[in-house]
Amino acid sequence: MRIDLLTLFPEMCEAVMAESIIGRARKKGAVQVCCHQIRNYAADKHSTVDDSPFGGGMGMLLKAEPIALCMDDLIAHLGKKPHTVYLSPQGKTLTQRRVFELSKLEGLVLLCGHYEGVDERVLDSYVDEEISIGDYVVTGGELPALLLADAVCRMVPDVLSSAECYEEESHFHSLLEYPQYTRPANWRGHLAPEILLSGNHEMVRRWRREQSLTRTAQKRPDLLKRADLTEEDRRFLNSCAESLRDKID
């Protein structure tokens, strides 16, 4: 998996992607992340990449040509155009399912907007989809792009120790993750659940599943509508309190 970020702040992106799990995955070659400075493709000596929008209004807009030249250079280097995403509050909200789908691609380009956004014509020419990280606005596309890149990279083979590391996490199966505990078993008078110390793997599995179902019903009941529930899951939910049953009707 190769991810290319087109940005005005490559140092910022590189600093984040060089750390922790993703940084280690890059060093061992499991993923490749490349950051490209859009300013390098500006035509004037001041490296101008923005201008005021036609029709007036507040703020500045990223010009089409520097981004297009950066994209053209990348496409020529790769020999093909990778799937290209523009991080935008107008895009479809990012989900774990979409992250998983994107992780199966050979390559991914993430375009980071700034100021008031990007000239629409470059989006029409190069972008395959727009993705939002939520119904709010941040200063630029770098933070959303880094979130997406991190989420995608950790689902690539050999980045985490095994697929189980993300398959048990919140949202992968449209359920929230069960609560977790570690040593000491008695922390300030608060005891870890005895069943987790029992050594009975089947009982632990069942407890975790039931906790996951309960948490989802309490905190995000909307997720249950698209979760792949077994008959055992449904029996458990039906045996719960009335408040939980109401959430899944």
Distance (Å, whole) CA 75 – CA 238: 54
Distance (Å, whole) CA 43 – CA 194: 67
Tokens of 234: 């449904």
Distance (Å, whole) CA 5 – CA 34: 6
Residue-wise pLDDT for 112-145, tens only, equals 999 889 999 999 999 999 999 999 999 999 999 9
Distance (Å, whole) CA 85 – CA 4: 10
pLDDT of residue 57: 85
Distance (Å, whole) CA 205 – CA 85: 38
* Residue found under tokens 């529930």: 229
CB neighbour list of residue 239: distance below 8 Å, 6 or more residues apart: none
Please give the mean pLDDT across all residues of the chain. 92
Count CA within 13 A, CB hemisphere, residue 178. Answer: 16
Tokens of 43: 């035509």
pLDDT of residue 245: 53
pLDDT of residue 169: 57
* Residue found under tokens 């970020």: 5
Residue-wise pLDDT for 6-61, tens only, equals 999 999 999 999 999 999 999 999 999 999 999 999 999 999 999 999 998 889 99
Q: Which pLDDT band holds residue 153 (cuts at 50, 70, 90)?
A: very high
Residue type for 179, please?
P
Q: Is the predicted pLDDT of residue 249 greater than 60, yes or no?
A: no
Distance (Å, whole) CA 129 – CA 167: 26
Please choose, from the candidates 47, 113, 46, 38, the residue with its C-alpha nearest in 3D space to the C-alpha of residue 68: 38
